[in-house]
Structure 1
Amino acid sequence: MRRFGKQREHGRKYVLRPGAYAILVHGHDMLITHQAEPFNEFQLPGGGIDPGETGIVALHREVMEETGWKIAAPKRLGAYRRFSFMPEYDLWAEKICHIFAARPIRQVGAPLEPDHQAIWTDFDTALRILCNQGDRHFVRHHLRSGR
């Protein structure tokens, strides 16, 4: 599996943390999230897959929590690995990021996650401000494929 970002640090213990993330396109814009804490970052909506949960169930839940939007027709595009510190859990994680393309259907409320804001932006801006290289790679590939 392709890795983006920092390499695994020798001697450091990592917790395996699978997650599901969405590329949500409508016309010439895409929906991303801004997370103010613990880091000030723009991200693809998504997050951890809880024990006993499928990637699709996690994707729907996480998108709703982070953006307030319902989605439809998720299609898995692939996955990548990255190693990072997660201060909100005080752990080092080996994140397996499963990336999906889905259709945003409707906004049913504000984001449920504290410090999250749903942002509609054009593709060029999204590619410039998304915080990690893996997300940018999958967005670029998805846009080039003609969606």
Structure 2
Amino acid sequence: MIRRFGEAVQSDRRYRMRPGAYAVLERDGALLVTHQQEPIPEFQLPGGGIDPGESPLTALHREVFEETGWRIDVTRRLGAFRRFTYMPEYDLWAEKLCSIYLARPVRAHGAPREPGHSAFWMAPEEALARLGNAGDRHFVARFLGWTR
């Protein structure tokens, strides 16, 4: 069973499945997170949607690079969670199936390329306090050994 976080499912809504890949990115005791300005300013684990025909790892590398400017080395999959939410940028209600990976940032290639995104290094405890969704916080807490 995949754990669910976020808003309660609304029975009168039709949700579109949106698989995505996201990463807990640790280097030298700090986590690399992204800040998305629109539609609601929020700190997030870097990553995003998996395009049709794209593998989760290919999507993860692409999305992390777009949102942070970093190339990564994926260590392992940590797990997954579901999140039911409205995505105003796509005007749809989504069931997000979020696969979370542990990865190491290995090389910076400049600023984020995705408009409205900024990359930030944070102490893991600060990231845990500032991440905008409960699923991201859960996996950072697991990384820290604070929860299973």
Q: How big is each residue's C-alpha offset from its partner over 1:44-76, in whole Å with a ceiling of 9 and x where there is no partner?
A: 000000000010000000000000000013411
For residue 4 of structure 1, give the secondary structure of its aligned residue in structure 2.
strand
Matched-pair identity in %: 59
Residue aligning to 1:12? 13
Superposition misfits of 4+ residues, deviation over 3 angstroms = none
The normalised TM-score by structure 2 is 0.95
Residue aligning to 2:118? 117
Residue aligning to 1:23? 24
The answer for unaligned runs of 5 or more in structure 2 is none
Residue aligning to 1:95? 96
Question: Partner amino acid for 1:132?
Answer: N
Question: Partner amino acid for 2:115?
Answer: P
1:57 aligns with 2:27: no
Mapped partners of 1:7, 1:54: distance in 2: 29
Mapped partners of 1:74, 1:42: distance in 2: 23
**Equivalent residues of 1:56, 1:74 under 8 A apart:** no
For residue 65 of structure 2, give the secondary structure of its aligned residue in structure 1.
helix
Residue aligning to 1:78? 79
The normalised TM-score by structure 1 is 0.96
Mapped partners of 2:73, 2:8: distance in 1: 34
For residue 63 of structure 2, give the secondary structure of its aligned residue in structure 1.
helix
The answer for unaligned runs of 5 or more in structure 1 is none
